[in-house]
Chains A and B, each alone.
Chain A
Amino acid sequence: MVAKTFAQTVLSRASGEAAETGDIVNARVDLAMSHENSALVLRSFREMGGQRIWDPRKVVVLFDHRIPANTIKTAEGHKEVRGFARSSSLPFFYDLGEGICHQVLPEKGHVLPNMLIVGTDSHTTTYGALGAFATGIGATEMAAVWATGEIWLKVPETMRIHLRGKLPPHVSSKDVILHIIGALGADGADYKCVEFVGDTISRMSIASRMVLSNMSIEMGAKAGVCPPDRKTYDWLSQRTLQGCEPTFWDHSSEADEEVEMDVEDLQPQVACPHQVDNVVEVRKVEGLKIDQAVLGSCTNGRLEDLAAAEAVLRGKKVSRDVRLIVVPASREIYIDASHKGILASLARSGAIILNPGCGPCLGGHQGLLASGERCISTTNRNFRGRMGSPDAEVYLASPETVAMSALRGEITDPRRP
């Protein structure tokens, strides 16, 4: 029998058919996540005549994008969704304060390998780091999922990216994924399921793998997955809500496209304005003055990211011309980082520490950029207007590069003495 790709395996199970690449299947969803835009989901759900959520235990609703509410309109949206979550006794409604959806769901044990997960957020691909097939959908489509638990999906082609070698010091998984996106382009993995495999991945922490899966969408991928291994199950064993039997993938399936990459000589990378695939080595743009530095988001707001930045800044002060904004990705991370003294150390260095959530990433609040300003950020999008004025510039880089740049007041390679 020919081995199935990961996408075929999950979508066959979820649809009850032998799903081949290119087929359109009707799949049953294992987990459905929506954040603030639950207000839009709810509106469509009511307009559709939706009565009950098909399976409340498979639905997670939380607020993370604009918390605490930044405008009255946002507050009204929160209030409406909160009321709905209570009246329909949703068991997994997390009000504002838990953190970013893509960090909170894994932490709270909602995500397991081989699940089919849909979320009303494009970075839903993040859950692929734990071996789930996870993809973003829109609000109205989520309303239909709430009503029926089903969704049509095309079985995607598979792009397998083999990563080999040990990452050099001060080079992280963020540099890896920026490099890959730069090489393949913003539509380089369009509609595909990307499988990240190889010894580099085995060596990476779960948090580092989440960076890869998270940013797969920036090259158009439908899903970006890392095969579950011992590390995955160790990580899950402390969190999962249900017992789960470790299953490991068969790697012999044929991919539609194979990409090979050696990371041993990888340099720190940066995505320049205004596209994520506009990637160069940090040293090529060193010296550009910055006004703001952001450390956080569903890409790089985890404990290891905060720790890496703190190690750069420890005992030093960020440049007086730079606002350094730090946003832990979740309450759990906030507490851990605070116990370890990381937050206090960052604050002593001059950082502004925000509550867990999306922070300034989407340009809604908490640190917008003025025209002509330049920001270096650990987030995942540098689109024009993304973080405030359309005449501002956003550069994307690793936590260490961002910290070093904040220290110097200009874009700086983290390996500088």
Chain B
Amino acid sequence: MISGKVWKYGDHVNTDLIIPGRYLDNYDPKHLAAHAMEDLDPLFAKGVQMGDIILAGRNFGCGSSREQAPIALRSAGVSAVIAGSVARIFFRNAINVGLPVIICPEAGRILNNGDIAELDLGTGTLRNQCRGGEVHFAPLPSFLMDVLGSGGLVPYMRRRLDPSSR
């Protein structure tokens, strides 16, 4: 179960907004986190707390293939992204770095900025802890849940590639 405070955004939040190109020469996750969402919401990086959740509209993460986008969010403390739809490369990158992404067009109906959302990835349930309300989403395919469960693609692959674990 994941729960956290909601940061709500609109449609088409692109990867340049999530982490601008000018910060990409430094791969340090803390540096990326310090500039997360900077051009969209300058208050985000200062205010985000461990476990917070991003709620967005359509096409979240559109744009470049930069994996630094989900890394910036994850290392800023974000525990999950919920969106109406998600651009495909962002979706893959997020799972691969261990950041759960949920596609749930209904979520915006029950959750507002600052609410506490409660998320059950296994059953596909999303609740508003503050004001009530519950919606459902299709859980991720089991092999992607495995990747997330391992903490991302690196630990997942480490097991797969390790001859002693075969």
Contact = CB atoms under 8 A, between A and B. Distances in A.
Interface of A: 24, 37, 39-40, 43-44, 47-51, 66, 70-71, 73-74, 77, 119-122, 124, 136-141, 143-144, 147, 152, 186-187, 190-191, 220, 222, 275, 362-364, 368, 381, 383-386, 388, 390
B65 to A, nearest CB: 4
A121 B14 CA distance: 15
A191 B62 contact: no
24 contacts: A40-B67, A40-B68, A43-B27, A44-B153, A44-B154, A48-B153, A51-B161, A66-B25, A71-B25, A122-B65, A122-B89, A138-B65, A138-B67, A140-B96, A141-B96, A144-B157, A187-B87, A220-B62, A363-B21, A363-B22, A384-B40, A385-B17, A385-B38, A385-B39
Contacts of B154: 44, 47-48, 140, 143
B77 to A, nearest CB: 20
A390 B39 contact: yes
B139 to A, nearest CB: 15
Interface in B42-63: 58-59, 62-63
Q: What 4 A-B pairs come out closest when comparing CB atoms? A: A138-B93, A138-B67, A187-B59, A383-B16
Interface residues of B, number: 40
B25 A74 contact: yes
User: Main SS of chain B's interface residues?
Assistant: loop
Given A39-B27, A73-B25, A140-B154, A50 B161 contact: yes
Contacts of B17: 383-385
B68 to A, nearest CB: 8
B27 A122 contact: no
A366 to B, nearest CB: 12
A384 B40 CA distance: 8
Given A121-B64, A141-B153, A363 B158 contact: no
B89 A140 contact: no
A140 B153 contact: yes
A118 to B, nearest CB: 10
A381 B58 CA distance: 18
A275 B12 contact: yes
Nearest to B152: A140
A275 B59 CA distance: 12
Interface string B79-100: 0000001011100110011000
B141 A24 contact: yes
Given A39-B27, A364-B22, A190 B87 contact: yes
B16 A385 contact: yes
B157 A48 contact: yes
Which of A70, A138, A275, A363 has the most CB atoms of chain B within a 10 A radius of its CB? A138
Given A40-B67, A138-B65, A49 B85 contact: no
A187 B157 CA distance: 31
Nearest to A361: B21
Nearest to A156: B88
Contacts of A187: 12, 58-59, 62, 85, 87
Contacts of A362: 21, 24, 64
Contact of A190 (B59, B63, B65, B153): B59
B86 to A, nearest CB: 9
Contacts of B64: 121-122, 362, 381
Nearest to A151: B92
A364 to B, nearest CB: 5
A147 B157 contact: yes
B21 A141 contact: no
B87 A147 contact: no
A121 B89 CA distance: 9
A183 to B, nearest CB: 16
Given A77-B25, A122-B89, A190-B87, A137 B65 contact: yes
Contacts of A48: 153-154, 157-158, 161
B65 A121 contact: yes
A39 B157 CA distance: 18
Contacts of A364: 21-22, 24-25
Contacts of A24: 141
B108 interface: no
A163 to B, nearest CB: 24
A187 B62 CA distance: 8
A136 B65 contact: yes
Given A140-B152, A383-B14, A388-B22, 20 more contacts: A49-B158, A50-B157, A50-B161, A66-B25, A70-B25, A119-B65, A122-B63, A122-B64, A138-B65, A138-B93, A190-B85, A220-B88, A362-B64, A363-B21, A364-B24, A368-B22, A385-B21, A386-B16, A386-B21, A390-B39
